[in-house]
Structure 1
Amino acid sequence: MTKPINGFSKLSKSEKIDWLAENYLKNNENAVSILKQYWNEDDKLQKLHDEFIENTVSNFYLPLGLAPNFLINGKYYVIPMAIEESSVVAAASKAAKFWSERGGFKASVINQKKIGQVHFLFSGDFSKLQRLFKIIEPKLREAVKPITRNMEKRGGGILSIDLINKTQDLENYYQLFAKFDTRDSMGANFINSCLEKFAEVLQEEASKFEEFSAKEKELQIIMSILSNYVPECIVRAEVSCPVAELSEDKNMTGEQFTEKFIQAVRIAEIEPYRAVTHNKGAMNGIDAVVLATGNDFRAVEAGIHAYASRNGSYSSLTHASVEDGIFKFWMEIPLALGTVGGLTSLHPLVKLALDILQKPSASELMEITAVAGLAQNFAALRSLTTTGIQQGHMKMHLMNILNQHKASEIEKKEMVEYFTHHTITHSSVIEQLEKMRS
């Protein structure tokens, strides 16, 4: 039985690996070599990666793919996507080509407000607390001037600070609820620094407010933190074309395709079991761009899924309609992205990804990312309502199965040729590979 270890973080990277192999990977003879083979030969670059997080032992690679032909607001883009799932990049590329021939994607940022909260407890007279807040609100802004100065020069800063009474939901619970504009940065550190200063000033001013009793002066700060739910930081992406132009299948007219497609969207709007998988398709595109550009995909996921539940039931992020013979497909989602700060200025591939996107502003990156999600969702629904999802997905997955079973290059070539004319399943691939080898 292994024992806990003290001072693990103080060990060198090689010492960490040796300890791991000795205590947890005794049955894996290749463990050490696997970890070390993913080290970068450039020591300077490897050191940069090592310092992104704590207790680093290796690098974990994901493929970086390119989805070309995205026509967005009249401008062509090649979108970098970091993702491990087969068929995502191919599907996005196919949707991009399809819509580039029909006017392309339209995208716009509706708002860019971000939220932060100081959560605190106060057991006293709310009217007194209101009077305190009215007095100290200018002091809160003054206290953070050293933090906000550079952001204000770029046109951002604190938009508003409000006192929120939440005692109906939780006894003695109140908030300072602040809205921010962080321009081209995601702004997490900026927002959190402001909030912590707000908390400090609030507590100090409460302790000497003459109207407060001794108990009221013991106002308790619970925490100060930004919210990853940003329902006022919204981007819209959409496509539209005449219904007749949607037919690419001789067995289905544009009208038939449209009717089936819209019904599929409506099912996702009212059925949570379907909506989760439906939205996962959109997130395939969104997450891949967020990750490639060094942004926080966990925050994006949490915020978007909260938004999908804002009306009390989890529902579709995308919507579709037909008016006067024009098909329209659109999505509005909350996205808080940045193009400066964090990994965007450190990770070489992140910087390159932003170069590929022609150095977008934060609002442009929001538009591009939303479009990638809409394209991916369109591609998935188009497959589901026509040929079925598995035909294209398994074709892309074929190479993964062959690599898993260590197929040679000759075997891969022959298998690709064989399954051009046969249905691909995991078992059928293994069966045919075994026949070939025997």
Structure 2
Amino acid sequence: MPKSISGFSKLTKDEKINWIASTHFTNAEEATKTIKKYWNSDTDLQKLHDEFIENTITNFYLPFGVAPNFLINGKNYTFPMVIEESSVVAAASKAAKYWGSRGGFKATVLNSEKIGQVHFIFNGDTERLTAFFNQIKSKFFSETQSITKNMQKRGGGILDIELRDKTSELENYYQLHATFETKDSMGANFINSCLEQFAKTLINEALQSDVLSEKEKNIEVVMSILSNYVPNCLVRAEVSCPVAELVEKNIENPQEFAEKFVRAVRIAEIEPFRAVTHNKGIMNGIDAVVLATGNDFRAVEAGIHAYASRNGKYSSLSHAKIENDIFTFWLEIPLALGTVGGLTSLHPMVKIGLEMLEKPSAHELMQVVAVAGLAQNFAALRSLTTTGIQEGHMKMHLNNIINQFEVTDSERILIKNHFKTNTVSHSAVVDFIAEFKR
């Protein structure tokens, strides 16, 4: 069992690495060498990365790829994508090219409202609490003026604050439920700062209230925090064309393909086991662009999956239909994104990603990210309903399998040529390598 250590955070980076290497690895020298191999030779850049989080010992690289030819609302985009999974970028690029010749993607931001809550306990009469809230509501706005003034200059700020009675679910539990517009910033720090001031205002005003009884004045604030569930921060992305125009190399019968595609989506709408994998494919595209633009993919994931369960059962995020011989495929998802603040102004590759997208507003980035998800989903469903998912995926995965073995450049070419016409699997590659190395 590894030994514990106190004061680890106070050690230098080299001291941390030495302790990690000597404590957890049989070959401490080799572990140290690998860890330091991923340091950036630019010391200023490495210092920047070191300060993103605590106890940094090295960098963990993920591929930064690009998917060009996305036509959205008549404008061409090249998507930056950060992801390690084989075939995702290729699939996005193919979907972009496919729909680019069929009118492209349409995307619309339906709303951009974000949410924060002050959770508190009030032991008293609900009607008096409501009267008290109505009496002091304006103070929540006035006492956060120093926090909101810059956001208001950009057209954002606090939209509304409601008192919500949750006592039927938890004894004496109430909320201040606040909605916000944060424009081009994701707004987490802004929202949380406002909420913490709301909590102070609530407590201070309660102590001075002539509406509440002495017992009722002792309001207990449990916590003040934004929500990553943003069902009113919605963006819609869609593609459509006449069914006859769906024809391509692997789609000889477009009517049959369209009907099978719609049924596949319908299965994901009604079957949670399928919906989870279906939506994971959507997130392949979404997360890749979210990461490349310095946004919080964990918050995005949590909010989107909650939205997929909003009707009481986990279901597909995307939908498809055929009406009047027109095929339409679309999704609506909640996305709270930012193009200013956080990593967007610090991480050099995030700056590259945003500039590649021509420095989008938060609304435009919402559209881009939604389209990435829809494109990824279309590519997956097209494969599933035609050639099968493994044919394309395993061919892209072939490099990862080959890299597990010591092969020469000429042997690599030999392997790739062989699997142009043979089914790719790990065991098949192992057997083929063993055969020619005899």
- Give the equivalent residue in structure 2 for 1:407: 407
Counterpart secondary structure, 1:225: strand
Pairs within 5 Å for 1:39-438: 39-249=39-249, 252-438=252-438
Displacement of 1:375 in angstroms is 0.2
**5+ unaligned residues in a row in structure 2: which ranges?**
none
Displacement of 1:250 in angstroms is 6.6
Displacement of 1:28 in angstroms is 5.5
Alignment partners' CA distance in 2, 1:28 and 1:401: 28
Displacement of 1:25 in angstroms is 1.5
Alignment partners' CA distance in 2, 1:421 and 1:126: 72
Counterpart secondary structure, 2:217: helix
Pairs within 5 Å for 1:13-32: 13-27=13-27, 29-32=29-32
Displacement of 1:209 in angstroms is 1.2
- What letter corresponds to residue 399 of structure 1 in structure 2? N
Alignment partners' CA distance in 1, 2:216 and 2:25: 56
Alignment partners' CA distance in 1, 2:341 and 2:281: 29
Show structure 1 runs of 4+ deviating over 6 A. none
- What letter corresponds to residue 407 of structure 1 in structure 2? V
Counterpart secondary structure, 1:216: coil
Displacement of 1:5 in angstroms is 1.2
- What letter corresponds to residue 433 of structure 2 in structure 1? L
Shift in alpha-carbon separation, 1:28–1:244, aligned structure 2, 3 A: farther
Any idea what the Cα deviations from partners look like across 1:139-189, whole Å, max 9, x if unmatched?
111111010000000000000001000001110000000000000000000
- What letter corresponds to residue 125 of structure 2 in structure 1? D
Shift in alpha-carbon separation, 1:167–1:145, aligned structure 2, 3 A: same
Aligned Cα root-mean-square deviation (Å): 1.0
Counterpart secondary structure, 1:212: coil
Any idea what the Cα deviations from partners look like across 1:265-295, whole Å, max 9, x if unmatched?
0000000000000000100000000000000
Whether the 8 Å contact between 2:79 and 2:357 is mirrored in structure 1 is yes
Whether the 8 Å contact between 2:132 and 2:212 is mirrored in structure 1 is no
Alignment partners' CA distance in 1, 2:267 and 2:30: 48
Counterpart secondary structure, 1:80: strand
Counterpart secondary structure, 1:360: coil
Alignment partners' CA distance in 2, 1:20 and 1:255: 60
Whether the 8 Å contact between 2:95 and 2:379 is mirrored in structure 1 is yes
Counterpart secondary structure, 2:403: helix
Alignment partners' CA distance in 1, 2:202 and 2:289: 40
- What letter corresponds to residue 67 of structure 1 in structure 2? A
- Give the equivalent residue in structure 2 for 1:9: 9
Displacement of 1:212 in angstroms is 2.2
Alignment partners' CA distance in 2, 1:250 and 1:397: 21
Whether the 8 Å contact between 2:238 and 2:328 is mirrored in structure 1 is yes
Shift in alpha-carbon separation, 1:423–1:294, aligned structure 2, 3 A: same
TM-score, length-scaled by structure 2:
0.99
Whether the 8 Å contact between 2:22 and 2:28 is mirrored in structure 1 is no
- What letter corresponds to residue 137 of structure 1 in structure 2? K
- What letter corresponds to residue 396 of structure 2 in structure 1? M
Counterpart secondary structure, 2:26: coil
Displacement of 1:27 in angstroms is 4.4
Q: Structure 1 residues 339-348 or 405-414, which shifts more? A: 405-414
TM-score, length-scaled by structure 1:
0.99
Alignment partners' CA distance in 2, 1:243 and 1:28: 61
Alignment partners' CA distance in 1, 2:273 and 2:204: 49
Alignment partners' CA distance in 1, 2:309 and 2:300: 14
Any idea what the Cα deviations from partners look like across 1:49-80, whole Å, max 9, x if unmatched?
00000000000000000001100000110000
Shift in alpha-carbon separation, 1:404–1:350, aligned structure 2, 3 A: same
| 2:34 is the alignment partner of 1:34 | yes
Counterpart secondary structure, 1:67: strand
Any idea what the Cα deviations from partners look like across 1:1-44, whole Å, max 9, x if unmatched?
43321111110111000011111123465211111000000000
Alignment partners' CA distance in 2, 1:204 and 1:45: 46
Displacement of 1:322 in angstroms is 0.8
Displacement of 1:345 in angstroms is 0.2
Any idea what the Cα deviations from partners look like across 1:393-430, whole Å, max 9, x if unmatched?
00000000001123322221111111111111110011
- What letter corresponds to residue 337 of structure 2 in structure 1? L
- What letter corresponds to residue 40 of structure 1 in structure 2? N
Q: Structure 1 residues 86-95 or 406-415, which shifts more? A: 406-415
Alignment partners' CA distance in 1, 2:402 and 2:425: 12
- What letter corresponds to residue 103 of structure 2 in structure 1? G
- What letter corresponds to residue 306 of structure 2 in structure 1? A
Q: Structure 1 residues 223-232 or 408-417, which shifts more? A: 408-417
Any idea what the Cα deviations from partners look like across 1:373-409, whole Å, max 9, x if unmatched?
0000000000000000000000000000001123322
**5+ unaligned residues in a row in structure 1: which ranges?**
none
Counterpart secondary structure, 1:218: coil
Whether the 8 Å contact between 2:251 and 2:257 is mirrored in structure 1 is no
